[in-house]
Structure 1
Amino acid sequence: MKTNTLKQSRLLIFWIYLLAFVLMAFSFQTYAADKKESADTVVIDTSMGKITVKLNPENAPISVENFLKYVNDKHYNGTIFHRVMKDFMIQGGGHLPDMTEKDSKYPPIKNEAKNGLSNMRGTIAMARMNEKDSATAQFFINVVDNDRLDHVSELQYGYAVFGKVISGMDVVDKIRAVSVGSKGDHENVPKKPILIKSITTK
């Protein structure tokens, strides 16, 4: 009788340990998933409000990794949206309020415009110069559908989308509506600087 009771006790302890292990493993998996989800979401805190962006590392791994490097380095803190075109896009991340250009710490990246993502309203994409692989830190948010910016060919390579606004398009629309003018060699500069206070992972 005592032997059976002992066996039952050991069996009960075994199942308790097994259940605890399963619950612990599930909790860790949930934590890891939440952490990944958080790392893929950023908040752009501007002088006109907050914009939350969901990044897309699956389709644009190079662009997302590059963007997060600048985020983690606090490169964007104190920069502005220096180019605002109400029927096109808002661009920022590369100039200070006096329009001084902020140096990019990392080399230009490969253009991922062939990733299947389209420059639709609310998407965020890498700004670049004429050379297709010249994007560094600057980015823009499409305020209308701009599929003409998508990849067409080697000659019309396009602009790489790497995420989408999931909250704060009202802020984007407020920014696009501001009064703009010329400042030095730059056109479409907001007359009152629109500050990017910070960009942080959520």
Structure 2
Amino acid sequence: MAKSGSARCSIGFLLVFVAALAGCGRGGNDAPLESRQASVGDSDATKSDDAARDGRRAISKVGIETSMGTIVVEFNSQEAPLTVNNFLQYVDEGFYDGTIFHEIHEGSAVIAGTHTKDLEKKMSRVSVRNEAHNGLKNVRGAVAMARDPGMIDSATSGFFINLTDNPHLDHQDDTPEGYGYCVFGKVVEGMDVAERVGKVKTHDTQDKAGKPLDRSPVEPVVIRSIRVMR
């Protein structure tokens, strides 16, 4: 039976969207993911676990100040401790200040956390363990980590805000393609801002390294700062 036009569009969108998330997964470090993870070691992973559970649980929210308004995100440290810890380390470093929402999927998601206003991809740290099996879903307002769909544990700094329910991004199985995209928080204020970001005019361009940046805003939507709210 031939697929309907809407089905073809849906499948096409899914492929493009997942490819977009792949572009955010790995940072500026070109070393193979496996070697970078191996260098961390089990003892460091245990320390990271402890830090995530003990050092970050008191921090529940951050304010993302953008050029279009402020978005407040509430974390779920109980279900995604490593991911929250990873995100907050970038916040502490000021990593996100001056970055942009570099890819827009109107009505579905807005992606940020990897590129500057000048379309230069920033150098990120080693990837974080994927906690997409935590039961949290990619529903409207959920905030999740972008990653390479071919590598389970490949998320670094890139993240996205779901503008609608995206069940195809949830944990399905233990394969790289089906493991899902880890949700670690939700928008509790400023969802209207995220939705406005999702409607800006876009074009297909390239970053400073010559790599494609599809659906990038014509006028940059800048993350001026991300700050902890206690």
TM-score by length of 2: 0.70
Deviations 1:37-58 (A, max 9, x none): 5x21000000000000000000
Deviation >4 Å, runs of 4+: none
Alignment of 1:74-89 (within 5 A): 74-89=94-109
1:54 corresponds to: 74
2:182 corresponds to: 160
- Structure 2, unmatched stretches of 5+, are 1-55, 207-211
| One-letter amino acid of the structure 1 residue matched with residue 192 of structure 2 | D
1:147 is displaced (CA, Å) by: 1.1
1:114 corresponds to: 133
1:175 corresponds to: 197
1:87 is displaced (CA, Å) by: 2.3
Is the contact made by 2:57 and 2:77 (CA closer than 8 Å) also made in structure 1? no
SS of residue matched to 1:94: strand
CA RMSD of aligned residues (A): 1.2
2:170 corresponds to: 150
1:36 is displaced (CA, Å) by: 5.7
Query: d(CA) in 2 for partners of 1:88 and 1:159?
Result: 14
1:154 is displaced (CA, Å) by: 1.6
In the alignment, structure 1 residue 138 sits paired with structure 2 residue 138 = no
2:213 corresponds to: 186
SS of residue matched to 2:85: helix
Alignment of 1:91-102 (within 5 A): 91-102=111-122
Deviations 1:64-97 (A, max 9, x none): 0000000011000000000111122001010011
Query: d(CA) in 2 for partners of 1:100 and 1:36?
Result: 33
Deviations 1:13-54 (A, max 9, x none): xxxxxxxxxxxxxxxxxxxxxx965x2100000000000000
1:127 is displaced (CA, Å) by: 0.5
Count of aligned pairs: 166
TM-score by length of 1: 0.80
Query: d(CA) in 2 for partners of 1:107 and 1:168?
Result: 30
Q: Which has the larger radius of gyration?
A: 1
Query: d(CA) in 2 for partners of 1:122 and 1:169?
Result: 7
- Structure 1, unmatched stretches of 5+, are 1-34
Deviations 1:124-145 (A, max 9, x none): 0001112110000110000010
SS of residue matched to 2:96: coil
Query: d(CA) in 2 for partners of 1:129 and 1:87?
Result: 22
